[in-house]
A = this chain, B = another copy of it.
Amino acid sequence: MKWIDELTGGETRLAKAFDRAIYILIVASLLQFALETLPEAEPFMSWFIWSERVIVAIFTVEYVLRTMSGRLTYVLSFYGIIDFLAIMPFYLSLGALDLRSVRILRLMRLLRIAKLQRYGTALKRLRLAFFDIKDELAVYFGLTVILIYLASVGIYYCEHDAQPDAFRSVFHSMWWAVSTLTTVGYGDVFPVTVAGKLLTFVILILGLGIVSVPSGLIASALMKQTKTEEKSAPQKEDQ
């Protein structure tokens, strides 16, 4: 039918309003998911169940309409699968499955935000920039893992005798290594021996140059991306 194609096609004014309504529903659905966890919200649980039913009903109607319009092309497309995953958990919970265990699957609705990329060049630029530096990011990720491993082994040998509980094993020490090298520093574990403090000093001075480089890389790559676009814009033939 023509009105279905127009509604789901995404070009007319009505289609855009329909899209926007769907996004508002997604945000509402995510908000509800968080609200349900509030102990104060216990008495309103029946409301939540009903609003969830309404949201899923609308999503189901949308899914059916899109399937009627796009057929198999839509059902098997990336967005079609996401849309299916967004409503599927609800119907699963109607069956023999316990509602609570599949509740978290409802978060898959968030994936539909990926569709927003049609609306902006910034997200596209971000993806290109990310592709540009994926080698460097992989190397830095590797170096970070090695650094965390070495820091954990080092601090384990320095602090294990002084704090056998906080630094029980190399794996327990990794918690300290992560919270220190990312400079979060909760303060639940920290070295108390002189050797451990010296190691922390060395690890931090060397480590910050490794752990915090990726964000600088992403920023630089994004700026470069913008520059490339500007260059190719007036000439138009290259790129």
Q: A residues bordering B, Cβ < 8 Å? A: 30, 33-34, 37-39, 41, 104, 107, 110, 113, 120-123, 125-126, 132-133, 135-139, 141, 144, 146, 149-150, 152-153, 156-157, 160, 168-171, 174-175, 178-180, 182-188, 190, 197, 200-201, 204-205, 208-209, 211-224, 226-227
15 further A-B contacts with Cβ under 8 Å, apart from A122-B139, A208-B212, are A33-B153, A38-B168, A39-B168, A41-B169, A110-B149, A113-B146, A120-B139, A175-B197, A179-B185, A184-B184, A209-B215, A213-B219, A215-B219, A217-B219, A219-B220
Tell me the complex Cα distance, A209–B178, Å: 15
Could you say which of B41, B132, B183 contacts A183, with CB atoms under 8 Å apart?
Answer: B183
Residue of B whose beta carbon sits closest to that of A135: B122
Could you say which of B138, B153, B216, B227 contacts A215, with CB atoms under 8 Å apart?
Answer: B216
- B170 touching A34 by the CB < 8 A rule? yes
Which B residues are CB-close (under 8 A) to A220?
Answer: 216, 219-220, 222-223
Which B residues are CB-close (under 8 A) to A217?
Answer: 219, 222-223
Could you say which of B144, B157, B222 contacts A104, with CB atoms under 8 Å apart?
Answer: B157
Please name 13 pairs of A and B residues whose Cβ atoms are closer than 8 Å in the assembled complex, sorted by A.
A33-B153, A107-B150, A107-B153, A120-B139, A122-B138, A132-B226, A174-B201, A186-B186, A209-B218, A213-B222, A215-B216, A220-B222, A223-B224
- A212 touching B215 by the CB < 8 A rule? yes
Which B residues are CB-close (under 8 A) to A214?
Answer: 208-209
Tell me the complex Cα distance, A37–B215, Å: 34
- B204 touching A152 by the CB < 8 A rule? no
Which B residues are CB-close (under 8 A) to A227?
Answer: 224
Could you say which of B169, B186, B208, B224 contacts A34, with CB atoms under 8 Å apart?
Answer: B169
Tell me the complex Cα distance, A183–B224, Å: 27
Tell me the complex Cα distance, A179–B157, Å: 21
Nearest CB on B from A102, distance (A): 13
Tell me the complex Cα distance, A180–B208, Å: 13
- A211 touching B208 by the CB < 8 A rule? yes
- B209 touching A150 by the CB < 8 A rule? no
- A153 touching B104 by the CB < 8 A rule? yes
> A122-B136, A123-B139, A188-B187 in contact; A223/B222 too (CB < 8 A)?
no
